[in-house]
Amino acid sequence: MFKNLLGSWYLKKKISNGFLGKGLVSLKSKKLNNFFYEEKSLIHKKDTTDAISGYQKFDIVENKNFIKFYFLLGDKKNKVYQKFNNNLKENLVSWYFCNKDIYKTYLKVINNNLFRIDHLITGPNKRILIQNTYFRSCKNN
């Protein structure tokens, strides 16, 4: 799946707690079935210009059975963030548990120029939906 998604992407974020974001994402091949994800984004509250910088890096390993995202930053570096059952091509869902929070992540490739990764984060007194839409940029390397 990810070999068809290599290149540069525009990212639009919509967060249910009133935040919006946009940025650039790069997907590169490291070796067969191993990919590098780098995101540089800015997130802001609706109707304000004060932005928070968002930066994420992941290793992605894919085979016929699963797709795994590994943290590349912070204290969880090299630990699995998400693991999707690759046999369920149309319904890729994964769960990640962080303290009392649960991240339920949906991965959907619409075509080679558009895909989505959505996170539903639930926990004590928390329910946040982060919708990430990736659009193929004109300039791909």
Quick one: pLDDT at residue 27? 95
Say which CATH class 2-136 falls into: mainly beta
The domain limits of the chain are 2-136
Q: Exposed, middle or buried, 69 (CB in 10 Å: 0-12/13-18/19+)?
A: buried
pLDDT digits (tens, 9 = 90+) for 24-77: 999 999 888 999 999 999 999 888 778 888 899 999 999 888 999 999 998 889
Q: Six-digit token pair at 37?
A: 């994800």
pLDDT digits (tens, 9 = 90+) for 85-115: 887 667 799 999 988 999 999 999 999 899 9
Cα–Cα dist 103/81, whole Å: 10
Quick one: pLDDT at residue 57? 95
Q: Is the pLDDT of residue 5 over 50?
A: yes
